[in-house]
Amino acid sequence: MNAATTTAPLLKVENLVKQFPIKGGLLGRVVDHVHAVDGVSFELAAGETLGVVGESGCGKSTTGRCILRLIEPTSGQVWFEGRSVTGADKTALRALARDMQIIFQDPYASLNPRMTVGAIVGEALTIHKLTKTAHEYEDRIVHLLETVGLSADHLRRFPHEFSGGQRQRIGIARALAVSPKLIVCDEAVSALDVSIQAQVINLLEDLREQFKLSYVFIAHDLSVVEHISHRVAVMYLGRIVEIAPAKLLYTDPKHPYTEALLSAVPIPDPSVKRKRIPLQGDVPSPIRPPPGCHFHTRCPIAQKGLCDVEKPQLKQTAEGHLVACHLRG
Ligand code: SF4
């Protein structure tokens, strides 16, 4: 079942699959595949934030990059405002790139160290010919820097002169330069200290209001996405195993994997006790994911002969709450 929103979607992802070939032998033939994304479907409404969470290697970042076609999906469909992203040619993709932007985890690696902050933020203005005069160009960059909490003084400085949080603000200003409607935040705050994380998340929330943005907010930690997300999707080995309005997912998780992830999230109120559900073992290799339910090798309630054989489909358990589990769906 598709994880649908109630309003017309801004973004629609249908049965997205990405397999990375593994080459080997003397002739460099394809000997196997990494099954990074295995049939992901969801919709995102305008102004909505969807948190996407899972351990590393679950395919969340690959999903984000396939949506923007920074990585070519193996199969599946992506639509943005009814326009096919997966079917777009170079020209159409360039137009779509103005509407869909990405912010990366490591702002230092994604910012050219030899370019000034002004040049980094202004690059897209030049590519898309968004300003007419040098004066307008500089004004626009200063305005973007101020919007993200930096200033005109930073214009001629280089990325290494900034802290991690400030560098992420530069990345956000760069993404905002083309006035996008959707931003994929790919582990955008994961590398930052907790207090800086909160500042950047607050900034992203303010910008969402101010510019009517939508986010696909990717993180490996449920606590990070809790406050910014309207809905949250939990991924495991390339599949969405649960997707629900954020409140529902945090108060009434259905999937055993979500329960385990949630049990590790600290609760600020010390009087509230949460039973820790330890996850056994590591995430299995995405080269040969376990058959049936991918989670059956680590699931505390797995049923032999069912979970290791049949793939569970996403089923609705409450309004907007979908879970892929034979015993909880
Ligand atoms: Fe566990 Fe089976 Fe549900 Fe998978 S389908 S989560 S193995 S109970």
pLDDT in tens, 260-306: 999 988 777 777 677 888 888 888 999 999 999 999 999 999 999 99
pLDDT of the residue at 265:
83
Of the listed ranges 107-111, 214-218, 233-237, the least confidently predicted one is 107-111
Q: Give the pLDDT score at 271.
A: 72
Q: Does ligand 1 have an atom closer than 6 angstroms to the CB of 111?
A: no
CA 227 – ligand 1 centroid, Å: 28
pLDDT of 277 reads: 84
Token readout for 226 is 């809790």
Please determine, for residue 91, whether its predicted confidence score (pLDDT) is greater than 70: yes
Q: Is the pLDDT of residue 84 over 80?
A: yes
The pair of three-digit structure tokens given for residue 32, joined into one six-digit string: 């196997």
Model confidence pLDDT, tens digit, residues 15-52: 999 999 999 888 889 999 999 999 999 999 999 999 99
* Pocket of ligand 1 contains residue 324 by CB under 6 Å: no
What's the whole-model pTM score? 0.93
pLDDT surpasses 90 at 329: no
pLDDT at 4 over 80: no
Best residue for ligand 1 mutational test, from 236, 293, 317, 322 (most atoms within 8 Å of Cβ): 293
Nearest CA to ligand 1 atom 8: 302
- Quote the pLDDT of residue 221: 87
Minimum-distance ligand 1 atom for the alpha carbon of 329: 3
Query: Is residue 58 within 6 Å of ligand 1 at its C-beta?
Result: no
From residue 267, alpha-carbon distances to 74, 223, 302, 316 in Å are 40, 9, 28, 28
- What are the structural domain ranges in the chain? 11-99+180-282
Average pLDDT over residues 79-107: 93
Give the dihedral of Cα atoms 172, 178, 183, 188; nearest 10 deg: -20
Predicted local distance difference test score (pLDDT) of residue 25: 83
Question: What is the per-residue pLDDT for 272?
Answer: 67
Q: What's the order of all strands across the beta sheet hosting 100-103?
A: 100-103, 182-186, 214-219, 49-53, 231-236, 239-245, 321-323, 315-318
**Per the structure block, which two tokens stand in for 252?**
């009434």
Confirm or reject: Cβ of 253 under 6 Å from ligand 1.
Answer: no
Helices 164-176 and 134-147: angle between axes, nearest 10 degrees? 130
> What is the percentage of the chain residues whose pLDDT exceeds 70?
96
The dotted CATH code for 11-99+180-282 is 3.40.50.300
pLDDT for 1 equals 44
Average pLDDT, rounded, for the chain: 92
pLDDT band at 203 (very low <50, low <70, confident <90, very high): very high
Average pLDDT (201-209) is 96
Q: Answer with the residue of higher pLDDT: 229 or 107.
A: 229
pLDDT of residue 264: 84
Read off the pLDDT of each residue in 190-211 and give the average, rounded to a whole number: 93
DSSP class of 152 = G
Q: What is the pLDDT of residue 7?
A: 60
